[in-house]
Amino acid sequence: MPTDNFGVAGLGVMGRNVALNIERNGFPVVAYNRGDENAAKMRAESRDKNVTVTQSIPDFVSLLTPPRRVLLMVTAGRGTDLVIDALLAHLEAGDVLIDGGNSHFSDTERRAERLQARGLHFVGCGISGGEEGALWGPSIMPGGNRDAYLRIAPVLEKIAAKTDDGSPCVTYCGLGAAGHYVKMVHNGIEYGIMQLICEVYDILRRGQGWSSEEIQQLFRDWTGSGQVGGYLVDITAQCLAKRDDSSGTALVEKILDTAGQKGTGKWTAQTALDLGIPIPTLSQAVNARILSGLKDARVEASAKLTGPSGGAEADRGHLRRVLHDALHLGMVACYAQGLHLIQAASAEFGFGTDLAEVARIWKEGCIIRSKLLDPIRQVYSEHPRLENMLLSPAFTTATNRNLSALREVVGLANDCGVPTTCLGATLAYVDSYRSEFLPANLLQALRDNFGAHTYRRLDMEGVFHTQWNR
C-alpha cells in the first residue's frame, strides 16, 4: 500500500524545511509555491527525494490523494487568506487544511468556521523551532477538530522533536484556535525570557562594566544549570561568543539596539488584558521592544535626562549567584504567567487544553525549551486545574528562595541606572501576588469620590457610596 502523500503550500525556508522533514520521515510530499524562486530552491533541495514541486494550485490539489492533507506555510495575515481562497476552489469535503503559520487566533476561528461550512477541516497549528527545528524536529501545537487532528497525527508525530523518553513534541492542544493560542503564548514567553536575559547582560555590561567575553563565560556556565538552562541561554552564550569579522570584537556590540517584532508578543499582551489575566513580565517585554525602537528619541533624551550610569563594583561571585537566581525566578514567572493565560483562555473559549501536555511538547524543539519544563509538567500533571504554578509546593519553595536575589538585582540595577523592565515587573508581580492587601482600597475610594463607582467594605456586607467632600 503506498503511503498517502502530504501537501505543503508555501516554500519559504520554513515550508521547504518542513517538507524535507516530512519526506525524510517516509511521506511523499507535493509542494506548491506560486513564485519561481522558492519553487526552484525546493526543486534543488529535494533532488532525488520523493517531493513533487508544482507552481499550479489545480495541479497541486489533483496530485494529492483524497482525502487530502495540506499544510500551509505562508506568512500570517492576508497571504494566508489568499492561498486559502485559491485552494478552496479545488479542495473537497473531508480534506484537511493545516495552517502552520503564526496566525492570530481570531483569524483561525474565522477560517475554521468558513471551511467547516464547506465540509472541510481546518487545523490551526503552531510550529516552533526556527529553520533548524522545521527540518530536524519542531515542537508542534495543533488545535481544532479532533478527528481532523487524528488524520494528520501520524505525520506530525514523526516529524516532531522527541523528548528524552522518545515521545513526540506534538499534542492535540484543544478545540477551535487552541493550537495558535498556545503558540502565541509560547512566543509571549519567548519575548519575556529573551528580555530577562538582555537585562542580565545590560546590568553586567553597562552597570558593572563586564566585557562581552566575561558575560559570555557566565552564560556558558549557566547552560548546564537545572534552573535556567535551556535553548535561549545556550544561544545567548553563542551570540556573545561571535566575533565581528572586520574588527575582531564581539559582534553583538556592533548591532543596532532596536528590536523588531512581528506581533505575537503584542497579541499575547492584548488577549491577556481582554481576559483580565496579569502577565506583566510578558507584556513589559513588548514595551521594552517598543522603547528600543525609539532610538532617535532615546539619543536625544540621553543628552537631557540625567541619572546614574554604572555603579560600584559588586562582588563577582555573589553577583553571579544572585543574577542566576533572579533569572530563574524571572523565567518561572514567564511560564507561570503564560500558562495562567492559557488556562484562562481554555476556560473562556472552551479549548480543553491540557497544560501538562503543553509543558511536555515545549520540552524539546521549540524556542522556549528549557530544563524548567520538567518540574512544570510535573506540577500540572498532579494539579491540572491549578491557576498559577507559583502556588504549587515546588515553585513556592523556589520563589521564596529566589525572591531576595531578584530584589537585590533590581536594587543594584536601579543604583546603576540600568532599566529592569522585565526583572522589575517580575518582582512587582510576585510582591503583588503575595500581598494579602494591596492599595486598591484607596483606589476604590478615589473612584467612588469622583465617579460614584461605589466600593465594598472589609467589615460589613453590601455596596457603599460616600460623599467624600463633606
- Contact residues for ligand 6PG, defined by CB under 6 A: 102, 128-130, 187, 190, 260-262, 264-265, 366-367
Residues 6 or more apart from 106 whose CB is under 8 A from it? 177
**CA 288 – CA 422 distance, rounded (Å):** 8
Shortest distance in whole angstroms from residue 143 CB to ligand 6PG: 16
Shortest distance in whole angstroms from residue 116 CB to ligand 6PG: 26
Q: Which residue has the cell 551570540?
A: 239
Chain centre to alpha carbon of residue 228: 17
**CA 200 – CA 327 distance, rounded (Å):** 8
Shortest distance in whole angstroms from residue 445 CB to ligand 6PG: 41
Strands 139-144 and 121-128: antiparallel
Name which of 54 and 128 has its Cβ closer to ligand 6PG: 128
| CA-based nearest residue to 183, from 290, 273, 76, 87 | 76
Strands 51-54 and 121-128: unpaired
Shortest distance in whole angstroms from residue 159 CB to ligand 6PG: 15
Name which of 277 and 367 has its Cβ closer to ligand 6PG: 367
Residues 6 or more apart from 50 whose CB is under 8 A from it? 23, 28, 29
Q: Which of 23, 45, 109, 190 is catalytic?
A: 190
Q: Which three cell numbers stand for residue 38?
A: 522558492
Sheet with 29-32, side-by-side order of all strands: 51-54, 29-32, 6-9, 69-72, 96-99, 121-128, 139-144
Cβ-contact 106, 77 below 8 angstroms: no
Name which of 155 and 161 has its Cβ closer to ligand 6PG: 161
Residues 6 or more apart from 66 whose CB is under 8 A from it? 92, 94, 95
**CA 1 – CA 408 distance, rounded (Å):** 65
Shortest distance in whole angstroms from residue 443 CB to ligand 6PG: 34
Shortest distance in whole angstroms from residue 131 CB to ligand 6PG: 9
Name which of 130 and 419 has its Cβ closer to ligand 6PG: 130
**CA 12 – CA 20 distance, rounded (Å):** 12
* Residue type at 32 in one-letter notation: Y
183 belongs to the catalytic site: yes
Name which of 185 and 406 has its Cβ closer to ligand 6PG: 185
Shortest distance in whole angstroms from residue 133 CB to ligand 6PG: 6
Name which of 22 and 189 has its Cβ closer to ligand 6PG: 189
The per-residue b/e assignment along 396-416, b for 16 or more CB within 10 angstroms, e otherwise, is eebbeebbebbbbbbebbbeb
Q: Which of 183, 199, 266, 357 is catalytic?
A: 183
DSSP assignment letter at 4: P
Instruction: Report phi then psi at 180, rounded to 5.
Output: -70, -30
Name which of 260 and 439 has its Cβ closer to ligand 6PG: 260
Shortest distance in whole angstroms from residue 76 CB to ligand 6PG: 9
Residue nearest to ligand 6PG (CB): 128
Rg of the chain (C-alpha set): 25
Name which of 33 and 102 has its Cβ closer to ligand 6PG: 102
**CA 282 – CA 176 distance, rounded (Å):** 24
157 belongs to the catalytic site: no
Residues annotated catalytic, as ranges:
183, 190
